[in-house]
Amino acid sequence: MGKLQMTPDLLRSLLQGTAEAVIAQAEHLTALDQAIGDGDHGINMKRGLQNVLADLDNITAKPPAEALKAVGMTMVMKVGGASGPLYGTLAMTLGKEWPTDDELDSSKLGQILAVSIEALKKRGKADLGAKTMLDVLAPVQQALEANKSIAEISVIAQQAAEATIPMKATRGRASFLGDRSIGHMDPGAYSSALIIQTICQLLEEKS
């Protein structure tokens, strides 16, 4: 990934495109959560992101750092499930760590994502390998640090979600199933991969 200047317009199209893509997959996210959770992941994400879309004019009137914090707050406040506060923490920390000149490159983005992942781990008291969204976000962070291309990052996200299938969940509701959580993709890993892949696709279309 080369240099990227985040403008309010670009952030708006990334937020809108990502929210719409996740909402379009809400039923699939819910089906994944029916297998190893309580079947609400799609509903949770849809509720949070519909609120983001409804407030998109206000959100994107702010500078990108503040806009990301606002997205995070919306996810924390509007989503009942675990995923809302976790994605909310991620977005709020990205906003907090955001560069003042809105200029990003692979290593800078990798750096702020690393801090955000640490915040998420703390909030969820989880680490890698627990079969959660972290198992997608962490490899993506490493790919950014290694300056991989946007196309490669997209593939890495997808493969990382697939790699949660053989894992045994040790965090979140799926952990209640113990060994029976093995053999299913983690719903949060899938939503994270979908978010990353959509952002990658939108960035490639713009470049």
| Binding interface with ligand ADP (CB under 6 A) | 33, 37-38, 40-41, 44, 81-83, 86, 124-126, 132-134, 171-173, 186-189
Q: Which of residues 20-59 bind Mg ion (CB under 5 A)?
A: 33, 37-38, 40-41
Q: Closest distance between ligand ADP and the C-beta of residue 102, in Å?
A: 28
The residue (of 64 and 78) whose beta carbon lies closer to ligand ADP is 78
Q: How many residues lie near Mg ion (CB under 5 A)?
A: 6
Helix axes 41-54, 26-36, angle to 10 degrees: 150
Tokens 């053989």 -> residue: 166
The residue at minimum Cβ distance from Mg ion is 37
Shortest Cβ 37–Mg ion spacing (Å): 4
How many residues comprise the chain?
207
x/- contact string, 75-104, with Mg ion (CB under 5 A)?
A: ------x-----------------------
Listed in sequence order, the residues at least 6 apart from 18 whose beta carbon sits closer than 8 Å to its beta carbon are 195, 198, 199, 202
Question: Is residue 46 within 8 Å of 79, Cβ to Cβ?
Answer: no
User: Tokens 């509007």 map to which residue?
Assistant: 78
> What DSSP string describes 2-67?
--EE--HHHHHHHHHHHHHHHHHTHHHHHHHHHHHS-S-HHHHHHHHHHHHHHTHHHHHHS-HHHH
Residue 135 binds what, of ligand ADP, Mg ion, none (CB under 5 to 8 Å, by partner type)?
Answer: none
Report the partner that residue 134 touches, choosing among Mg ion, ligand ADP, none (CB closer than 5 to 8 A by kind): ligand ADP
Residue 193's binding partner, choosing from Mg ion, ligand ADP, none, with beta-carbon cut-off 5 to 8 A by kind? none
Partner whose binding site includes residue 86, from ligand ADP, Mg ion, none (CB under 5 to 8 Å by kind): ligand ADP
CB 196 within 8 A of CB 153: yes
Backbone angles phi, psi at 38, to 5 degrees: -115, 10
d(CA 68, CA 56): 11
Of these partners, ligand ADP, Mg ion, none, which one is at the site of residue 22 (CB under 5 to 8 Å by kind)? none
**DSSP string across 142-172:** HHHHTT--HHHHHHHHHHHHHTTTTPPP-SS
Least spacing, CB of residue 13 vs Mg ion, in Å? 29
Partner touching 117 among Mg ion, ligand ADP, none, CB below 5 to 8 Å by kind: none
Residues near Mg ion, by CB under 5 A: 33, 37-38, 40-41, 81
